[in-house]
Chains A and B, each alone.
Chain A
Amino acid sequence: MSAQWQTLDLPAAQDAIRAMRPGDMFRLNGVIYTARDKAHQRLAGMASRGERIPVDLRGQFVYFVGPSPAPPGRVIGSAGPTTSSRMDPFARVMLELGVTGFIGKGRRSAGTRALLKEFGAVYFSSFGGAGAYLSERITSSEIVAFDDLGPEAIYRLTVKDFPVIVVNDTAGGDLYESALRK
């Protein structure tokens, strides 16, 4: 993997997503939505009951994060990725809601990797434990659903030069696997 940054304006076009390969590095510009454990659980429940989903996720990227509280004068607190595997049970429902990219950290299950292939979506890692660094690349933040969940609410974030690396592409590739010495 070579360390070459590319710029990606969001929402991303389907052909741009399909051209991505593990190890490709992007600086994201535009809107992303946050969700972690409880928001996923709630969205899945609403979808299964056929209820109206409070946020339109078609063609959007979802970021697994539970930010720390915003100190006075800041848009958001520390905001790095949380472990993605906890969201594996909800991958199908999120993809059915139209999500085309997930941002988190750590491995995805074989099931999720197969779903990414099936739906033509990608999984990116951002930089785990770099919450202060990533906070500096978020220019706006507003809660759009599940206000009562605090840090687990769904936020609409605007990001500028937000760094991510492709881990799982639409062809079934996996950056973490290829990093290991056989």
Chain B
Amino acid sequence: MTEPSRKIDTAVIEDNIVRMIFDASFRLLPEVEDAFSRIRDCEKSEAARMTMDIIIENSRIARERQLPLCQDCGSVSVFIELGHSVCLSGAPLPEAVDRAVATAYERFYLRKSIVGDPLERINTGTNTPAFLHVDIVPGDRLKMSVYLKGGGSENMTALKMFRPTDPAESVIDFIEESVVAAGPNPCPPLFLGIGIGGTADAAMLNSRKAVLRGVGTAHPNPYYADLERRILERVNDTGVGPLGFGGAGTVAAVFIKEAPAHIASLPVALNLNCHSLRYRTVEL
């Protein structure tokens, strides 16, 4: 028995990526802005409130003047969940994705920050290649997220291989230590993506995907929802605060994505997203 296939032209994917890069680069998601307003109103120090005011004002200026939210317009990760009965037509997918990125970064005056070889370090001049991840899933839908991230927060990324017998409390300690060690560098208030379990690479990838669940959503599993809440409380008691100048708003939200693991392994990966959280998702 064969399921009927559904055709999607990669030109449609390309157009959507260009549009999503535009939206992500110039417009903070309303739920992100709401999170900032709440942090602002909770801060006791005048300096922390002033810092949040500047971050909120930055968002307004970016939208109205069409200036990028941050001069580090990021590397582009594209996450695609591709239904197994979808048949792609047109240009090969990686080519369509890179063409979309090159078009968007040129057309919208975004900074191109990708070097072709990591040691030779010559700028490709197009912000390509994009970092493309495709998961084949059941069905005939295509779900796609475009995620932009700057280098300052990326450089604070952490991975720790725990003992399988280590308690969840030690995971919380590790997250707290990593956030304090990163301090002002990743531009708090942060959105923490945490990959727990899997292999080391799977944990790392999950830490990147975790935030795509959506700001303002709770983890569907009550155990992990509670763990997210405990981590949030702990890191916001450190005093790092907005941009590291001190305060309660160190982390705006925590997102855990867990995965099955080897009996010997408990990898925990931490992706620190800066306050300029830039992503968009579309379903085709």
Contact = CB atoms under 8 A, between A and B. Distances in A.
Interface of A: 1-3, 23, 25, 65-71, 74, 77-80, 82-83, 85, 105-107, 125, 127-133, 135-136, 150-151, 163, 165, 175-176, 178-181
On chain B, which size bracket covers the interface? Answer: 35 or more
A125 B109 CA distance: 26
B109 A176 contact: no
Nearest to B65: A132
Contacts of B55: 127, 129-130
A82 B109 contact: no
A2 to B, nearest CB: 6
B interface SS class: loop
B248 to A, nearest CB: 10
A105 B184 contact: yes
B46 interface: yes
Given A1-B246, A68-B67, A133-B57, 4 more contacts: A66-B113, A67-B111, A125-B184, A132-B61
8 contacts: A77-B111, A78-B69, A83-B151, A107-B183, A107-B244, A125-B244, A127-B55, A176-B184
A66 B240 CA distance: 26
Contacts of A23: 47
Interface string B207-224: 000000000000000000
A40 B121 CA distance: 15
A107 B184 contact: yes
A178 B150 CA distance: 27
A1 B237 CA distance: 18
Which 3 residue pairs of A and B lie closest in terms of their CB atoms, listed nearest first?
A: A179-B246, A106-B185, A3-B46
Interface string B49-89: 11100110111011001111111110000000000000000
B47 A3 contact: yes
Interface in B251-276: 274-276
Given A3-B47, A127-B54, A179-B245, A132 B187 contact: no
B178 to A, nearest CB: 14
B68 A131 contact: yes
B243 interface: yes
Given A78-B71, A125-B184, A130-B58, A3 B152 contact: no
B71 A67 contact: yes
Give the one of B61, B67, B155 with max A CB within 10 A.
B67
B109 A69 contact: yes
A74 B65 CA distance: 10
A68 B50 CA distance: 25
A163 B245 CA distance: 14
Contacts of A125: 184, 243-245
Nearest to B185: A106
Contact of B155 (A68, A83, A151, A163): A83
Contacts of A150: 123
B110 interface: yes
A130 B54 contact: yes
Contacts of B152: 82-83, 105-106, 128
Contact of B58 (A2, A65, A85, A132): A132
Interface in B85-139: 109-111, 113, 123
